Amino acid sequence: MSIVLWRRYDSLETHQAVLHAMLLNKPDKNDELTFVKSLYLIDSITQITADMGNAVIISGSHGGVSSASYVVDAPNKPFAVFFNDAGVGKDRAGIEALRILDELQVLAFAYAHDSARIGQAQDGLDHGIVTHINAQAQTQIPSFSEWVGKLVWDVVKELR
């Protein structure tokens, strides 16, 4: 059985609420709960911090080169990052971050620009539909092709 605990953290300095979720497993009612992954929602990937290392991040940002640079420069790399595909764009510019993050062995996903608002991570989590998955995710996830078309939240639950 999966249990999800949600806690909201409000930051007056950045005027942003960051949602932090802990995905927990509890196979038996007598077993202790075990922490698996943290989930961070950030409206802009520019707000990535060292605390987000080995976590799953839902970003409201597009998945372009400039967005990838913030993950590349992060002191602790996340386990997985979700971006808005921004309509993919010319030469796939809206999802170029997925290819770049392959080199860092970070799982990267894009969700449809017409399924969730650009710049709103919560909407990405609640309504985003996965459109693209990087090669790193494809090698680590045997049934990756089944994830295209799924809700971001459903994929996040699988990444626990």
**pLDDT tens-digit series, residues 34-74:** 447 899 999 999 999 999 999 999 999 999 999 999 999 99
> How many domains are there within the chain?
1
Instruction: Give the pLDDT score at 41.
Output: 96
Q: How far is CA 110 from the centre of its chain?
A: 9
What are φ and ψ of residue 137, in 5° steps? -65, -40
Q: Report the predicted TM-score, pTM, of the whole model to 2 decimal places.
A: 0.79
Residues spanned by the domain of 131: 2-159
Alpha-carbon gap, residue 61 to 110, rounded angstroms = 10
Query: Hey, which bits of 65-116 come out as E strands?
Result: 80-84, 107-111
User: Between 32 and 104, where is the model more confident?
Assistant: 104
